[in-house]
Chain A
Amino acid sequence: VVPFVPFVALLLQQRRPVAGRALLVTGSSCPGHGLCRSNVQEQTRRQVALLNATAQDLFSLYLKCQGEPFSSEADKLCNPSGVIFPPFRVNRTSERKEVMVAMYQLFAFLNASLGNITRDQEELNPTAKELLDRLHNTTKTTRGLISNLTCLLCKNYNIFQVDVSYGESSKGKGTFRKKQQGCQVLRKYVQVIAQAARVLLPHLSPP
């Protein structure tokens, strides 16, 4: 069970490539109490670990379901250098607050991108049930993680506004481009989630 912050879900419905300042909570300040559950830190740690553990399988399954040339030329076609991705310039020595903000920006972007990919795959590969299930599960975990990060930022640092950017929408693009964009995003996701886990987990480990 994750803490529920209604406006976050609304905010993440944005699918256009957009940058903006996300309001983590309604109002001009964090609520005094009732925002976080007692085990939010542990839950956040587990969510990051889960995403890190499942990212590679999700990417491999995505490639397999796209058919050729993705399954054989992933390196060339899925090179993420061309996709817009939020910078993740924190490391284990960075301040915890800084790490939390970077995490929020990363997972806000990922959540929107996963929404795009899921929508495209529902249309292009409606019979690839396992892939769709994994995409839905990853998106759900990401949403829960965003809620927990919101809570931690608000509770620990009284941050209720974060600048975020969302990925480029694939709507209106050709089938190949949709597949390629999803492939690029997921590949970048595999790389960044591993880094995020390395950086975030020490900060969230029990004292």
Chain B
Amino acid sequence: MMNHFIVLAVLLPLRTCYTTHSQQESTVFPVTYLNVSKELAFQRLLVEWDVGKSAHDAELAMSFEIQVRRTGETTTVWTEFHNVTLDKSGDPLHWMWDSDLPLECMSHSVRIRTKAEASKIWSEWSPWKTVLGLDTLNDSGPQIFPNEKIVEEGSDITLCCIGRKGHVIEEFSLYPAPHVFNHTNSQIGLLTLKNVAHQAVPHITVYCRESCTEEECYDHAVLFVGKPPNTPNDFSCETQDMRTVTCTWSQGGDTYLYGNHSPKYTLSEEFSQNPIPCTVTCSEQCSCSWDIGQQRIYNITMTVENPLGKKTAMDVFDVTHRIYPAAPFQLWEECRDTEITLYWKYQNKGFELFCQTEVVQPDGKVELHNSSDSHLHYASITLSGLQPYTEYTARVHCAAAQHFWRWSEWSEAQTIRTMEATPSGKLDIWREITQVQGGRNVTLFWKQAPGFRANGGSISYEVTWEKEEGGSKLERMSFSSACNSTRISIDNHSYRVSIMAKNDVNYSLPSVLIIPRGTGTEEELSGSELQEEQINGTDDGIFISWEPRHMYDSYIIDWCNFPTLQPCDLQWKRFRPNTSSALINSAAFVPGVRYNFHIYGSVGNRVSLLKKKTGYLRELPPLFDPKVEKVELTFNAVTLSWDSYPTNESQSGFVRGYHVYVSPIQEVCSLQGSKKHVLPDNSVLCKYTIENPEEKRYTVEHLLSNTKYKLAVKAYTGGGETPIVNFIYIDTPFNSNMLYLLVLLVIVPSLVAAICRWKLNWVKECCCPVIPSPNKSKVLSFKEFKNGSEKVLKISDCIPDMLAVDNKAETQELHPWSQLSSAPTEAKTDHNSSWIYPNENEERAFTHTPTHQTHTWFENFAYSSHFADESCPYQIPETLETGKPELSVVLYQPHYYFDIFNEDAASTPRETPGRKTSLRYISQTDVHCLGRRL
């Protein structure tokens, strides 16, 4: 029994728990109150509802499903689940919904159903609660919503146009391009703009038109397209005096929103939780200043806001770490010759400053000198190591010494000149000595050496000289700063010259020059025993070299900038002892002028001439052509002379020689010893070159008589020669020798011929007895080799009248190229032929044995007659020169004759081989002549 009660006692609470839980699972708490309103400024629906008090009392965790629907749309436009744990206060519940479509455009309805989180059952939906749009009103015209809106660039926006009842929206678009819009119904048009872009004009106008055209049928709306403000990334605060803090920042990019829509700036302080009482002003930068009081640590938040957004920037700082001092002012100075003490004032005390002085030297070099202030009201710095009587420009800026933040602005720049001092360094001096009757004129020159400093404003020069051996009065002259030379006259003793610079404080160290004892001759001064060397200039100047000698402590080169003028502007340059070359340049150097350089060695203020050099910066062609003063003419040569042509320094380059130009005949330069020279107009000249500038005479040979020639003579230098413009014209005379020759060749033979004619028979008998014709010989019928009217000898048919064998070895070796003499009928030995026309080609083809001392030839008329008819090039009469010129003979060489004597051609299959070697053929003529002779 007892156990039974215990069981009941356990089961009863369990039952109770189960029952409660089951009740909660099945209990629903429907919406008891629902109210919907709209907040047009934000285009937002505000929904307020409540459930039963029991739900509040149970502090239930509940879920609410909220749906939004628009007029004319069958589906809900929004569904959201909203979870809330109720409290016992019993306050109604709230939810907001931001509409993407202006709420004026159409009516919006909301409904809600609920569910306790523990429950599985949703309540019934509440009835739809509607807020009306303006589409329900009957207005005086169409209306666009939103009518004015600020739109972020790149975003989307939906507009609607509500027409009057009974009217249809005909157009709804942006200017100027028409846009396609949607109709929800004929009375309402919807227009969605995607990715809105900023235009040149800061507003976009939208228009809507009903189906009529009167003014009341239109409505216009304006969109402002802009950007949210940029975050000011250079926001920073600082103080100049520990009393006022100023924050500055950049405005950032253009938001395209102006007037009331332009960005607004506000500053607030986090520690004090107060807005900063400052007025923002913006020009290039925005700034805001306020008095700080006792607060040292700040956390400033700057907010920039426009209708499209808000950005913030922060700066947390300790005021003592943000000191940006005011610029130092009232600078003054104390000067000495090499030191300046600079003083300045500054506004703010209460913190230690560290200052920097910038000193600009005359050459533009800038030096910075640091200093810390020590006085209460002013600070100073001493700048040392300065040059006397020199202007320096100084300015100062400062920063907080303890916590450096920024340098102040620079003070006004102060220009200060140091005091004068004794001239430092020495003058560079030089001389020019001219021998005169009874002594010398010495021109002294001086200039400030690179290390020399006048150290004063008023400089003058003092020149003193005396005999080196003593015993003479010290001569002294003073010159103003404008002078740099003077001339003194001295005798031939050795003199010591000294030149000093002087300013208002003192003299410089003297520069000394010893004028050595003179011998009274010009040669001594001019150094005429020295060979003058030629040098060439470069683009950078004229390069001069010499052999250094250990005894000299310096070298000096002097030259005249204007060698043709008097005075010639003598220049000199001094070089260190180990120097052996120099590149001399001067702004006065010009091409085509010869400059003379003298190189001196100096030891102990005494100088001696080492070398003389002469050269041009750049050689130019001669200024004028040689003037041909004499022309000697023969029938085949002309001699030209131009003796007066100068080759000295008056020339614009070193004259290297001459060119003689001769116009050739028929544009072909064939004159011996000349070269072809083509002029710019492509005409051809023959050019002879004379490489010795002192050879001013030339003979052009091998000219033709009785011919016109034009000639020109040009000098050339290292710079070349000038173009050929002028010519000399000559006519070679007739050659009288030719007349004599003509007489010899025409008249004498004519006389001989006349005499011969007159005594024809006698001559015939004496010189040319009758000779039978070989063509009439029976043996020479030449049936097989008849060629036209001519006959060819056939060896086998030839029965000689007599066979003769020459007993001389020379005559047995008849060479194939040997020909018969033109002298008829007689064998002839000729040692003195005078017509010489060598043909090299044939010499190469037919080499002969140069061992013959005499040759005997026999004429074969069969060939000679053929020769008379043919004009084959191989038949040109020629003379072969043997090793001994006196053995030259006249040879005629018919082509076919050559073939016969050729071993291959002359041998036929019918001929016995032995004949070639055992017997020598002797022509019919030979036989005939021999026969007659016998």
Do A and B originate from a single complex?
yes
Q: How far is the CA of A10 from the CA of B26 in the complex (A)?
A: 79
- Decide if B895 is an interface residue (CB 8 Å cutoff): no
Contact call B176/A122, Cβ cutoff below 8 A:
no
Q: Provided the pairs A174-B147, A174-B148 are in contact, do residues A69 and B176 lie with their beta carbons within 8 angstroms?
A: yes
Contact partner, B205, options A68, A82, A123, A127, Cβ 8 Å: A68
Contact call A68/B176, Cβ cutoff below 8 A:
yes
- Decide if B6 is an interface residue (CB 8 Å cutoff): no
Contacts of A94 in B (CB 8 A): none
Contact call B148/A72, Cβ cutoff below 8 A:
no
Contact call B259/A123, Cβ cutoff below 8 A:
yes
- Decide if B495 is an interface residue (CB 8 Å cutoff): no
| Chain A residues with a Cβ under 8 A of chain B | 65-69, 72, 82, 122-127, 174-176, 180
| Chain B residues with a Cβ under 8 A of chain A | 147-148, 175-176, 199-205, 207, 215, 220-222, 258-260
Q: Which residue of A lies closest to B174 (CB)?
A: A68
Contact call A174/B222, Cβ cutoff below 8 A:
yes
Contacts of A124 in B (CB 8 A): 202-203, 258-259
Q: How far is the CA of A82 from the CA of B175 in the complex (A)?
A: 23
Contact call B202/A127, Cβ cutoff below 8 A:
yes
Q: How far is the CA of A68 from the CA of B174 in the complex (A)?
A: 9
Q: Which residue of B lies closest to A65 (CB)?
A: B201
Contact call A67/B220, Cβ cutoff below 8 A:
no
Q: How far is the CA of A174 from the CA of B259 in the complex (A)?
A: 15
**Besides A68-B175, A127-B258, A175-B148, 13 other CB < 8 A contacts?**
A65-B201, A68-B205, A69-B205, A69-B220, A72-B176, A82-B215, A123-B258, A123-B259, A124-B259, A125-B201, A125-B202, A126-B259, A176-B220
Q: How far is the CA of A123 from the CA of B202 in the complex (A)?
A: 11
Contacts of A127 in B (CB 8 A): 202, 258
Contacts of A82 in B (CB 8 A): 215
Contact call A123/B222, Cβ cutoff below 8 A:
no
Contact call A175/B175, Cβ cutoff below 8 A:
no
Q: How far is the CA of A176 from the CA of B175 in the complex (A)?
A: 13
**Least CB distance, A82 to chain B, in whole angstroms:** 8
Contacts of A123 in B (CB 8 A): 258-260
Q: Which residue of B lies closest to A120 (CB)?
A: B259
Contact call A67/B203, Cβ cutoff below 8 A:
yes
CB-based closest 9 A-B pairs:
A67-B201, A68-B175, A123-B259, A175-B222, A176-B220, A69-B175, A126-B258, A68-B176, A176-B222
Q: How far is the CA of A66 from the CA of B207 in the complex (A)?
A: 15
**Least CB distance, A102 to chain B, in whole angstroms:** 29
Contact call A69/B203, Cβ cutoff below 8 A:
no
Contacts of A65 in B (CB 8 A): 201
Q: Which residue of A lies closest to B176 (CB)?
A: A68
Contact call B222/A122, Cβ cutoff below 8 A:
no
Contacts of B202 in A (CB 8 A): 124-125, 127
**Least CB distance, A176 to chain B, in whole angstroms:** 4
10 CB < 8 A contacts A-B:
A65-B201, A67-B203, A67-B205, A69-B220, A122-B259, A123-B260, A124-B202, A124-B258, A174-B221, A180-B220
Contacts of A67 in B (CB 8 A): 175, 199-201, 203-205
Contacts of A69 in B (CB 8 A): 175-176, 205, 207, 220
**Least CB distance, A183 to chain B, in whole angstroms:** 12
Interface centre among B201, B222, B258 (most CB of A within 10 A): B201
Q: How far is the CA of A66 from the CA of B200 in the complex (A)?
A: 10
Contacts of A68 in B (CB 8 A): 175-176, 201, 205
Contacts of A126 in B (CB 8 A): 258-259
Contacts of A180 in B (CB 8 A): 220
**Least CB distance, B110 to chain A, in whole angstroms:** 31
**Least CB distance, A177 to chain B, in whole angstroms:** 8
**Least CB distance, B925 to chain A, in whole angstroms:** 126
**Least CB distance, B41 to chain A, in whole angstroms:** 16
Contact call A176/B259, Cβ cutoff below 8 A:
no
Contacts of B221 in A (CB 8 A): 174, 176
Contacts of B175 in A (CB 8 A): 67-69, 72
**Least CB distance, A32 to chain B, in whole angstroms:** 48
**Least CB distance, B730 to chain A, in whole angstroms:** 87
Q: How far is the CA of A127 from the CA of B204 in the complex (A)?
A: 16
Contacts of B220 in A (CB 8 A): 69, 176, 180
Q: Which residue of A lies closest to B223 (CB)?
A: A175
Q: Which residue of A lies closest to B220 (CB)?
A: A176
Q: How far is the CA of A66 from the CA of B204 in the complex (A)?
A: 10
Q: How far is the CA of A180 from the CA of B258 in the complex (A)?
A: 20
Interface centre among B205, B207, B258 (most CB of A within 10 A): B205
Q: Which residue of B lies closest to A70 (CB)?
A: B205
Contacts of B201 in A (CB 8 A): 65-68, 125
Q: How far is the CA of A174 from the CA of B143 in the complex (A)?
A: 13
Contact call A175/B203, Cβ cutoff below 8 A:
yes
Contacts of A122 in B (CB 8 A): 259
Q: How far is the CA of A82 from the CA of B218 in the complex (A)?
A: 15
Q: How far is the CA of A123 from the CA of B175 in the complex (A)?
A: 22
Q: How far is the CA of A68 from the CA of B204 in the complex (A)?
A: 8
Q: How far is the CA of A130 from the CA of B199 in the complex (A)?
A: 19
**Least CB distance, A70 to chain B, in whole angstroms:** 8
Q: How far is the CA of A180 from the CA of B260 in the complex (A)?
A: 20
Q: Which residue of A lies closest to B224 (CB)?
A: A175
Q: How far is the CA of A123 from the CA of B221 in the complex (A)?
A: 17
**Least CB distance, B806 to chain A, in whole angstroms:** 130
Q: How far is the CA of A91 from the CA of B454 in the complex (A)?
A: 89
Q: Which residue of B lies closest to A176 (CB)?
A: B220
Q: How far is the CA of A148 from the CA of B715 in the complex (A)?
A: 93
Q: How far is the CA of A69 from the CA of B259 in the complex (A)?
A: 22
**Least CB distance, A90 to chain B, in whole angstroms:** 30
Q: Which residue of A lies closest to B144 (CB)?
A: A176
Contacts of B222 in A (CB 8 A): 174-176
**Least CB distance, A63 to chain B, in whole angstroms:** 11
Q: How far is the CA of A99 from the CA of B220 in the complex (A)?
A: 40
**Least CB distance, B209 to chain A, in whole angstroms:** 11
Contacts of A176 in B (CB 8 A): 205, 220-222
**Least CB distance, B226 to chain A, in whole angstroms:** 13
Q: How far is the CA of A96 from the CA of B827 in the complex (A)?
A: 152
Q: Which residue of B lies closest to A68 (CB)?
A: B175
